Structure 1
Amino acid sequence: MPTLEFESLLHGLLQKDPDKRMNWDQLLSHSFWKGAFSEELTNLSGEALDSSRGMEQYEEGVGPSRNSSQVVSKSFGLDSMAEIRPKSALDGEARESIFLLSSRPTPRTSGATRETVPRTVQTQGSMFIGGLRDVTCCVKDLVYTDNDLTVTPIIDNPKIMKSAPVRFDSKTLIVPAHSADRLSSMSGGDWSAFLQQLCGALEPGERAGGTVRSKLNLLCYLCTVASHKDTATRLINSPLLHLLTQHLRTAPNWDVKAKVMRVIGLLASHCVELKNDTPVTEALHAFTELVRENFRNSKLKQCLLPPLGELLYLIASQEEKRESPGGLWAVPAAAYTVLTRCLREGEELVVHHMAVKIVENVCTTVSHHAQGFITGEIGPMLWYLYTHSTVDALRVTAISALCRITRHSASAFQSVMDKVGLPAVLSSLVSGIGRVQQLMLTMFAAMLSSGAHLQRLVQDKDFVTRMIRSLESPSCMIRGKAFLVLVQVLMNNREMLLLCCNSRLVMYIERDVRKATPGREQQSSNEYLSKCLDVLIRHIVQELPGILGDILSALGNIAGRKHPSTTQAKQLKQCLPMMGVVLHLLSSQIFRPQIVTEEFLVKFGALLHHVTSIDSSGTSLERAVGQPAAEELIRSTLSAVEAITQHPSVITPHQSAVVDSILPPLTSLAFSKNVEWRILSLRVLSEITLLLLSQETAQEGRACASNRLLSLITEALLPQYESLLLEPDPVPVYALKLLVSLTEHDSPVSKLIEESRLLPAVFQVISEHQVNSLSSTMQNAVALLSNLTGHRDANLQPFYQEGLVEFLHTVLMDVGALYLAGEEQAGLKGSSVLLSLLEILHTVLRSTSTVVRQALQSERGEDSQKAEGLLLLNKPLTDLISLLIQMLPSGEPEVYEVASQCLSLLVQLYAGNSLDCLRPGNIVSLARALEQQPLPKPQRLLLRVAKRLITCRGSCAGDLQEEVPELVQILQRLAHSHRSHSELNNSSLAIEILKCIAS
Structure 2
Amino acid sequence: MENFILYEEIGRGNKTVVYKGRRKGTINFVAIVCSDKCKRAGVANWVRLTWGLTHKNIMTFYEWYETSNNLWLVVELCTGGSLESVIAQDGCLPEDVVREFGVELVTGLYHIHKHGIIYCELKPGKILLEGSGTLKFSSFCWARADGEDLEKVFALAGAEEGEDINESTLQRYSKNTVQGLPLYTAPEAIKGDNFCRASDLWSLGCLLYEMFTGKPPFLSESRSELIEKILSEDPLRPGPEGSASHKPSAEFISLLDGLLQKDPQKRLNWTDLLQHPFWKGSLSHCGAESADRQGISLSREDTESSVSWCAKESVDAHKSLDNLSSSKADLKPPSNSFKIETRTELRPKSAVDGESNESIFLLSSRPTPRINSAVEVHDSTTVPIKNSSQGDSYVKKAESMCSSQQDMESKLKELIYTESDLIVTPIIDNPKIIKQVPLRFDPKTLHIPAHSVEKLLSMKDVDWNNFLKRVCSLLDSSEKNTGAARSKLNLLYYLCTLVVHKEIANRLISSQLFPILIQQLHAATNWDIRANVARVIGLLALHTSELGENVPISEAITLLTELIRENFRNSKLKQCFLPALGELLYLIASKEEKGEHPRECWAVPSAAYTVLMRCLREGEERVVNHIAAKIIENVCTTRSCHAQGFITGEIGPVLWYLFTHSTGDSLKITPISALCRITRSSPNAFQSVIEKVGLTAVLNSLANGICKIQQYMLTMFSAMLSCGIHLQRLIQEKDFVTTITRLLESPSTFIRAKAFLVLLQVLINNREMLLLSCQTRLMMYIERDSRKTMPGKEQQGGSEYLSKCLDLLIYHIVRELPGILGDILSALTNVSGRKHPSTVQAKQLKMCLPMMPVVLHLVTSQVFRPQIVTKEFLFNYGILLEFIRSIDSGETKLDRAIGQAASEELIKTTLLTFEAVTEHPILLITHRLTVEDSILPPLVSLVHSQNVEWRLFSLQLLSETTSLLLSHEVKAEEKGESLNSNNKLLSLIRDLLLPQYEHILLAPDPVPLYALKLLVALSEHSPASVSLMEEVHLFPVLFQVILRYQNSILGNTMQTVIALLNNIVANKSMNMMILFEEGLAHHVCSLLTEAVALYLEADDKGNTKTANVLLLSLLDILQYMLTYTANIVRQTLQLPSEDTEIFSSASQCLLLLVQLYGGNNQESMSPESMGSFAEVLKSKKDPRELKLLLKIVKRLITSNKKHSESLKNDGDALIQALESLTQTASSHADIAVASLAFEILRTVGRKNIKTPK
TM-score, normalised by the number of residues in structure 2: 0.58
Whose RCO is larger (CA < 8 A, sep 6+)?
2
Contact 1:766–1:778 (8 Å) recurs in 2: yes
1:286 is matched with 559
Q: Residue type of the partner of 1:780?
A: T
Question: Which of the residues 970, 989, 992 maps onto 1:713?
Answer: 989
1:520 is matched with 793
Matched residue pairs, number? 770
Residue pairs, 1:856-895, within 5 angstroms: none
Q: Residue type of the partner of 1:129?
A: M
The verdict on how the C-alpha distance between 1:682 and 1:352 changes in structure 2, with shifts beyond 3 A counting, is: same
Question: Which of the residues 559, 580, 584 maps onto 2:857?
Answer: 584
Report the Cα distance in structure 1 between the residues aligned to 2:465 and 2:1113, rounded to whole angstroms: 102
Deviations 1:869-910 (A, max 9, x none): 7986998999xx9xxxxxxxxxxxxxxxxxxxx89969x99x
2:1004 is matched with 728
The verdict on how the C-alpha distance between 1:171 and 1:673 changes in structure 2, with shifts beyond 3 A counting, is: same
Residue pairs, 1:274-313, within 5 angstroms: 274-313=547-586
Question: Which of the residues 609, 634, 640 maps onto 1:361?
Answer: 634
1:593 is matched with 866
Report the Cα distance in structure 2 between the residues aligned to 1:856 and 1:533, rounded to whole angstroms: 79
2:161 is matched with none
Q: How far off is 1:137 after superposition?
A: 2.2
1:544 is matched with 817
Deviations 1:771-795 (A, max 9, x none): 1122221232122222222234333
The verdict on how the C-alpha distance between 1:716 and 1:390 changes in structure 2, with shifts beyond 3 A counting, is: same
Deviations 1:298-339 (A, max 9, x none): 010000111111111111112222276745422221111111
1:483 is matched with 756
Contact 1:506–1:588 (8 Å) recurs in 2: yes
2:45 is matched with none
Report the Cα distance in structure 2 between the residues aligned to 1:870 and 1:765, rounded to whole angstroms: 36
2:218 is matched with none
In structure 2, the residue corresponding to 1:683 is in which secondary structure?
A: helix
Report the Cα distance in structure 2 between the residues aligned to 1:877 and 1:537, rounded to whole angstroms: 69
Question: Which of the residues 816, 825, 830 maps onto 2:1102?
Answer: 825
Residue pairs, 1:685-696, within 5 angstroms: 685-696=958-969
Q: How far off is 1:189 after superposition?
A: 4.0
2:648 is matched with 375
Q: 839-848 vs 563-572, which deviates more?
A: 839-848
In structure 1, the residue corresponding to 2:594 is in which secondary structure?
A: helix
Question: Which of the residues 1104, 1120, 1123 maps onto 1:843?
Answer: 1120
Q: How far off is 1:674 after superposition?
A: 1.8
**RMSD of equivalent CA atoms:** 3.3
Contact 1:805–1:876 (8 Å) recurs in 2: no
Question: Which of the residues 715, 733, 739 maps onto 2:1015?
Answer: 739
Q: How far off is 1:420 after superposition?
A: 1.0
2:1083 is matched with 807
In structure 2, the residue corresponding to 1:373 is in which secondary structure?
A: coil
TM-score, normalised by the number of residues in structure 1: 0.72
In structure 2, the residue corresponding to 1:682 is in which secondary structure?
A: helix
Report the Cα distance in structure 2 between the residues aligned to 1:836 and 1:188, rounded to whole angstroms: 105
Question: Which of the residues 602, 605, 612 maps onto 1:329?
Answer: 602
Residue pairs, 1:170-189, within 5 angstroms: 170-189=443-462
1:146 is matched with 419
Q: Residue type of the partner of 1:783?
A: A
The verdict on how the C-alpha distance between 1:871 and 1:242 changes in structure 2, with shifts beyond 3 A counting, is: farther
1:934 is matched with none
Report the Cα distance in structure 2 between the residues aligned to 1:402 and 1:814, rounded to whole angstroms: 83
Query: Is it true that 1:767 corresponds to 2:1040 in the alignment?
Result: no
Report the Cα distance in structure 1 between the residues aligned to 2:641 and 2:1139, rounded to whole angstroms: 110
Question: Which of the residues 700, 706, 723 maps onto 1:433?
Answer: 706
2:742 is matched with 469
The verdict on how the C-alpha distance between 1:726 and 1:296 changes in structure 2, with shifts beyond 3 A counting, is: same
Report the Cα distance in structure 1 between the residues aligned to 2:582 and 2:1110, rounded to whole angstroms: 83
Q: How far off is 1:822 after superposition?
A: 5.3
Report the Cα distance in structure 2 between the residues aligned to 1:772 and 1:325, rounded to whole angstroms: 94
Q: How far off is 1:846 after superposition?
A: 4.1
Report the Cα distance in structure 2 between the residues aligned to 1:503 and 1:447, rounded to whole angstroms: 23
The verdict on how the C-alpha distance between 1:530 and 1:904 changes in structure 2, with shifts beyond 3 A counting, is: farther
1:89 is matched with none
Residue pairs, 1:585-734, within 5 angstroms: 585-696=858-969, 697=972, 703-734=979-1010
Report the Cα distance in structure 2 between the residues aligned to 1:863 and 1:359, rounded to whole angstroms: 119
Report the Cα distance in structure 2 between the residues aligned to 1:225 and 1:360, rounded to whole angstroms: 27
Residue pairs, 1:258-269, within 5 angstroms: 258-269=531-542
Deviations 1:350-369 (A, max 9, x none): 11111111111111122222
1:948 is matched with none
Report the Cα distance in structure 2 between the residues aligned to 1:676 and 1:874, rounded to whole angstroms: 53
The verdict on how the C-alpha distance between 1:340 and 1:477 changes in structure 2, with shifts beyond 3 A counting, is: same
The verdict on how the C-alpha distance between 1:263 and 1:871 changes in structure 2, with shifts beyond 3 A counting, is: farther
2:1029 is matched with 753
The verdict on how the C-alpha distance between 1:753 and 1:533 changes in structure 2, with shifts beyond 3 A counting, is: same
Q: How far off is 1:426 after superposition?
A: 0.9
Contact 1:686–1:737 (8 Å) recurs in 2: yes
Report the Cα distance in structure 2 between the residues aligned to 1:175 and 1:125, rounded to whole angstroms: 67
Deviations 1:25-81 (A, max 9, x none): xxxxxxxxxxxxxxxxxxxxxxxxxxxxxxxxxxxxxxxxxxxxxxxxxxxxxxxxx
Q: 172-181 vs 649-658, which deviates more?
A: 172-181
The verdict on how the C-alpha distance between 1:407 and 1:904 changes in structure 2, with shifts beyond 3 A counting, is: farther
Q: 799-808 vs 663-672, which deviates more?
A: 799-808
Q: Residue type of the partner of 2:855?
A: V
Q: How far off is 1:695 after superposition?
A: 1.9
Q: Residue type of the partner of 1:614?
A: I
Report the Cα distance in structure 1 between the residues aligned to 2:880 and 2:1102, rounded to whole angstroms: 43
Contact 2:1132–2:1146 (8 Å) recurs in 1: no
In structure 2, the residue corresponding to 1:201 is in which secondary structure?
A: helix
In structure 2, the residue corresponding to 1:777 is in which secondary structure?
A: helix
Q: How far off is 1:244 after superposition?
A: 0.7
Identity of aligned residues (%): 58
2:1052 is matched with 776
Residue pairs, 1:69-468, within 5 angstroms: 129-132=401-404, 134-322=407-595, 326=599, 328-468=601-741
Report the Cα distance in structure 2 between the residues aligned to 1:256 and 1:689, rounded to whole angstroms: 92
Report the Cα distance in structure 1 between the residues aligned to 2:602 and 2:1144, rounded to whole angstroms: 114
Q: Residue type of the partner of 2:672?
A: I
Structure with higher helix content: 1
Report the Cα distance in structure 1 between the residues aligned to 2:1106 and 2:998, rounded to whole angstroms: 33
Q: 451-460 vs 865-874, which deviates more?
A: 865-874
Q: How far off is 1:375 after superposition?
A: 1.1
1:985 is matched with none
Contact 2:962–2:1017 (8 Å) recurs in 1: yes
Q: How far off is 1:520 after superposition?
A: 3.3
Contact 2:1126–2:1153 (8 Å) recurs in 1: no
Q: How far off is 1:868 after superposition?
A: 5.7
Deviations 1:734-773 (A, max 9, x none): 1111112222213421222233311111221121112112
Q: Residue type of the partner of 1:499?
A: L
Residue pairs, 1:543-562, within 5 angstroms: 543-562=816-835
Report the Cα distance in structure 2 between the residues aligned to 1:174 and 1:864, rounded to whole angstroms: 144
Structure 2: state its 5+ residue gaps: 1-395, 1165-1195, 1201-1242, 1244-1253
Contact 1:181–1:228 (8 Å) recurs in 2: no
2:1187 is matched with none
Deviations 1:800-832 (A, max 9, x none): 233333333333444445445352234826975
The verdict on how the C-alpha distance between 1:344 and 1:556 changes in structure 2, with shifts beyond 3 A counting, is: same
2:310 is matched with none
Structure 1: state its 5+ residue gaps: 1-123, 882-901, 910-940, 946-988, 990-999
